[in-house]
Chains A and B, each alone.
Chain A
């Protein structure tokens, strides 16, 4: 059974810091991996999608990497801003392509 773990559960940093969020999964047979952002009481916003054949994806200040063989992904946020404060969720799509399996998220707080 696929399990997704995100470390740390919470993170507080001052504005301007670069930071790394970690995601690990137990079954390397995945179709893709997606990082989302969730603001309190809101829905999910897709940040980056990495196909299983890819190693990384970049969008603005965000960079996500994928090491499928070791079951790990990282989300790198450069020059953090208070507006980055949110919960970041990692999810892997099962190989059948029918279900996203989510971690519990990392709650990020960036202080000005």
Chain B
């Protein structure tokens, strides 16, 4: 049973480009969460999605950031027109598709560097 898979593991983008981060949840999980870890800071919640629905995006910056979790395929976190301050590690987590929140399992992260 593969864990939460994130790709790419490392991503370098120039300022103004777009970054696309992918997350495949564990088998049988339909709840996906995205977190960001800035240097010297803790992990910050960004967004919580279920298949085809955004449930809670209270941690998502209002501009340039978007997330989706389509019926088929991985969840995508998209950052448009990246700036240096977007450089961080982005982690995806998934939890089982059962009633109520349960244990969250995290991927290895995507380390985004904006140059």
**Interface residues, chain A, CB within 8 Å of chain B?**
4, 31-32, 34, 36, 41-46, 49, 89, 91, 93, 96-105
Q: Do residues A98 and B42 form an inter-chain contact, with CB atoms below 8 A?
A: no
Q: Do residues A43 and B101 form an inter-chain contact, with CB atoms below 8 A?
A: no
Contact of B106 among A44, A93, A97, A98 (CB under 8 A): A44
Contact of B105 among A4, A46, A103 (CB under 8 A): A46
Q: Do residues A46 and B101 form an inter-chain contact, with CB atoms below 8 A?
A: no
Q: Do residues B106 and A99 form an inter-chain contact, with CB atoms below 8 A?
A: no
The smallest C-beta distance from A12 to any residue of chain B, in angstroms, reads 19
Smallest CB gap from A46: residue in B: B103
Smallest CB gap from A97: residue in B: B101
Q: Do residues A96 and B56 form an inter-chain contact, with CB atoms below 8 A?
A: yes
A49 to B93 alpha-carbon distance, docked (Å): 15
Mark contacts of B21-62 with chain A using CB atoms, 8 A cut-off: 1 yes-contact digit, 0 otherwise: 000000000000101000001111100100000011011000
User: Hey, which chain A residues are within 8 Å of B102, CB to CB?
Assistant: 49
Q: Do residues A102 and B59 form an inter-chain contact, with CB atoms below 8 A?
A: no
Main secondary structure of the interface of A (DSSP, over half): strand
User: Hey, which chain B residues are within 8 Å of A46, CB to CB?
Assistant: 103-106
A93 to B33 alpha-carbon distance, docked (Å): 12
A-B contact pairs, 13 of them (CB 8 A): A4-B42, A31-B100, A34-B104, A42-B108, A43-B91, A43-B107, A44-B43, A49-B102, A89-B43, A91-B43, A98-B56, A99-B45, A100-B104
A104 to B43 alpha-carbon distance, docked (Å): 7
Q: Do residues B103 and A34 form an inter-chain contact, with CB atoms below 8 A?
A: yes
User: Hey, which chain B residues are within 8 Å of A43, CB to CB?
Assistant: 4, 91, 106-109
A108 to B110 alpha-carbon distance, docked (Å): 24
User: Hey, which chain B residues are within 8 Å of A4, CB to CB?
Assistant: 42
Q: Do residues A100 and B103 form an inter-chain contact, with CB atoms below 8 A?
A: no
A99 to B56 alpha-carbon distance, docked (Å): 8
Q: Do residues A103 and B45 form an inter-chain contact, with CB atoms below 8 A?
A: no
User: Hey, which chain A residues are within 8 Å of B108, CB to CB?
Assistant: 42-43
The smallest C-beta distance from A82 to any residue of chain B, in angstroms, reads 23
